[in-house]
Each structure stands twice: as C-alpha cells, then as structure tokens.
C-alpha cells in the first residue's frame, strides 16, 4: 500500500480507534503453542514453535515456514503489511566485505519469507576483520513495506557489535555513523531505523560497555534520541524498540544514573518511554508497585505496548533488555493499563508479555491458559456508548 493511500486509510480509522481507546476491552483468541512476535494490519501473526518459524491466520491457522536448505532452525521476528516475514535461520551462505569473500557451510543469518518463494537467506557481511567471518551470527529483527531488513551481528566481545540494514539492491551494509556496540531493532516504512548505539569512545571507556543511547538513522543522518537523564547523561542508558509511521519512537531509559559499569543496568530503575517525532521524551512510568518497564511497540494511533515488573534480564548481543512481569497498553488518554484487567476475569488466562500491535489495536503475546503456556491474540471489543437518561 502506497504512503498516500495508507495515510488516507489510517485517517478513516481515527474515529474507530477513539471508540477503542474509550472501551479497551478485548476478546482473546488462543494461538496454542505459538510464541508470537509480530502482527500486521491484516491480522497475520508470526512467531515460533520449538525452534521453527510459523505464520498464523484466522482462516488457515498455523503454517510452518520451514528452514533454509541444509539448516536446522528458523526464528520469525517481524512481518510487513504485504505478508513478508523476516527473522533468523541457519544455512549455507556467501559473505563479503573488506576485500574478503568467503563461502560458509552454515551461517546464522537473516531471512525473508514469502508465500510465493518460501524462505530465502540473506547471508552476511564482513563488518569487522577481527573475527572469522563464518563464526559471526547475524540476527534479523524487522522488515518494512519496502522489504528492507534490519538487525545486528551477534558478536558482543570487547567493543564489537554492529547494526545493519539489508536491501535488495545493496545487500547488507553497516549502519553509518554507528559506534559499537550497536543494534537496529525496527525500521519505519520510509526507511527510518531505530535501535541503540554507543554515543562515543569516551562513554565506552568511562562508563563501561552497554551504556548506549536510543538512536535513529535516516537518510545518512545518525541522531541520538537521548535519555531521561538531565545531568551526567553519560551515566544513563536508553534504547529504541519500535517506531510508527508518524515517527513516534518507543523503548526505555534509566531514570537514575547507572551505578558502576553493569552492562544490564540492574542497579538503576528503567521506565518505558515515548519519543515524539520532534525528539521530545516522555516517561510512561510503570504499573503500580513495579520498578521496571519497557515499551516494545507502538501503532499508528500512538497505542504503546510493553511489560512492567520488578525483574529485568539482559543477555546483550542475543536479546534486548527485557522486563518480566505484566503486559501493558498505554494511551495518552488512559495512561498505562495492565492487559490482564482488560480481558474477562473468567477466561482462565494470565497474560505475561505483549510483543506486537497492529493499526486496529490487535495485540499478540504470550501467556498461560489454565497453567499451560499459550500464545494469544487480543481483539478490541467495541461497545456502544450508553445514553444518559434525562433526570
């Protein structure tokens, strides 16, 4: 869908979503053993079951995406509005760069999947010469309507980790203006990439690995999105996890200076944040009683999803900063709400995480149903506003 027609379509939904925001009541669909990661505007859901990528649709149910020829696993991370899926898989590939060209028998690499052509590996690139090229894994994190894929390599040794963008015309290239460790977590349809990036060599030496800032890359310009810190900003960290078509960005930031040089910021509270398209940052807070929160995604209408809790985990270079607790939805009108309070109390479900949201406000994530781990799809249930009776 072209940008002009897409924005016209979105404008028609404004009044519909206004009703949604006032109701915020959801019906829930059981996705079985699927661990969902993303959902597009057509309600197509991607996720994973036992190390294999799957796509789910309302009418066809679950369909395995398979693996690359000679590969052993696949992991779906994102899907665009044309139904093209990206993620990570292993298989043979040729990588090149820095005057090096090498054939790898089994490379962990990003992929794209279409219903017509199946799964195709995107290979890798020699982003740094300090490592054996075939030993460097590459992870795909998101895909936009143009088919541009972003992600990062899996080397987090010393100060090396690079974000990348892949296009059909240029292949895989390192993000310009980046200073490792860097990761690209999402890409907007107009090509804006968001993620995190070390701000300078000073920060790396002074404050320890991992004190990165949320960053935006667009048209060759790298922009530090900043943190919630006012003074001594070098001692605050942040990251951007999602971006919508209006340029609003979500992620997290520390709320106090990080003590010592801990990579994962356990010693400092971190809150979900929202950056406007002009760069202003807002603290979205936490659910009552919690210390940590992080925002994972935002849709066209500014509805934000994420997690809030008292436990944070970070396995840097493999997965981002994560909060274990309760999934939330945040809107400017109602603030942050626990999704568990917005479904039927007798459903048997306990919702644990929210990973994707589409333009209709449908949300996917992972929870437990009668004690068993299941994926879920939440669909807004619209209610007519009650009329006040005259006294």
From start to end of 255-359, where are the E strands? Answer: 270-275, 281-285, 292-298, 304-313, 322-331, 335-338, 349-357
Helix (H, G, I), strand (E, B) or coil at 126: coil
* pLDDT one-digit tens code per residue, 26-57: 999 999 999 999 999 999 999 999 999 999 99
Partners of 118 in the β-ladder: 114
* pLDDT one-digit tens code per residue, 342-356: 999 999 999 999 999
DSSP per-residue letters across 288-317: TT-SEEEEEEE-TT--EEEEEEEEEE--TT
Bond preceding residue 181 cis, omega within 30 of 0:
yes
- The domain locations on the chain are 34-174, 201-363
* pLDDT one-digit tens code per residue, 206-234: 444 446 889 999 998 999 999 998 766 66
Q: Is residue 73 over pLDDT 50?
A: yes
Location of structure tokens 């974000």? 163
As a whole number of Å, the CA-based R_g of the chain is 21
* pLDDT one-digit tens code per residue, 120-147: 999 998 766 667 888 889 999 999 999 9
Judge contact between 106 and 75, C-beta under 8 A: no
Two tokens at 30? 């059981």
Q: What's the pLDDT at 202?
A: 46
Question: What is the percent of the chain with per-residue pLDDT over 70, rounded to a whole number?
Answer: 80
Average the pLDDT over 250-258 and give the result.
Answer: 90
Average the pLDDT over 95-112 and give the result.
Answer: 90
Count how many Cα atoms sit within 13 Å of the Cα of residue 194 in the half-sphere of its side chain.
28
């Amino acid at each position: 869908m072209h940008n002009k027609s897409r924005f016209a379509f979105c404008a028609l939904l404004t009044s519909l979503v206004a009703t949604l925001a006032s109701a915020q009541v959801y019906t829930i669909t059981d996705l079985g053993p699927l661990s969902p990661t993303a959902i597009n505007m057509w309600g197509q859901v991607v996720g994973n079951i036992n190390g294999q990528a799957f796509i789910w649709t309302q009418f066809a149910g679950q369909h395995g995406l398979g693996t690359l020829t000679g590969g052993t696993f696949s992991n779906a991370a994102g899907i665009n509005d044309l139904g093209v899926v990206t993620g990570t898989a292993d298989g043979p590939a040729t990588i090149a760069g820095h005057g090096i060209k090498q054939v790898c028998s089994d490379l962990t690499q990003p992929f794209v999947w279409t219903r017509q052509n199946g799964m195709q590996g995107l290979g890798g690139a020699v982003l740094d010469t300090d490592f054996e090229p075939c030993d460097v894994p590459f992870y795909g994190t998101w895909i936009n309507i143009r088919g541009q894929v972003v992600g990062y390599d899996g080397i987090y040794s010393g100060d090396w980790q690079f974000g990348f963008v892949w296009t059909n015309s240029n292949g895989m290239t390192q993000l310009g203006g980046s200073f490792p460790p860097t990761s690209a977590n999402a890409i907007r349809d107009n090509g804006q990439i968001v993620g995190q990036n070390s701000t300078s060599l000073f920060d790396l030496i002074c404050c320890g690995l991992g004190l990165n800032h949320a960053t935006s890359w667009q048209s060759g310009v790298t922009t530090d999105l900043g943190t919630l810190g006012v003074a001594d900003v070098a001692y605050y960290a942040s990251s951007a996890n999602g971006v919508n078509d209006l340029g609003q960005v979500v992620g997290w930031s520390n709320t106090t200076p990080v003590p010592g040089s801990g990579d994962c910021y356990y010693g400092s509270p971190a809150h979900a944040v929202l950056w406007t398209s002009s760069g202003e940052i807002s603290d979205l807070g936490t659910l009552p009683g919690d210390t940590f929160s992080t925002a994972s995604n935002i849709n066209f209408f500014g509805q934000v999803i994420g997690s809030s809790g008292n436990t944070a985990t970070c396995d840097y270079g493999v997965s981002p900063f994560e909060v274990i607790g309760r999934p939330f939805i945040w809107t400017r009108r109602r603030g942050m709400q626990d999704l568990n309070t917005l479904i039927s109390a007798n459903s048997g479900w306990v919702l644990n995480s929210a990973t994707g949201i589409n333009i209709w406000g449908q949300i996917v994530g992972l929870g437990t149903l009668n004690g068993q781990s299941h994926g879920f799809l939440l669909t807004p249930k619209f209610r007519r506003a009650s009329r006040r009776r005259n006294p």
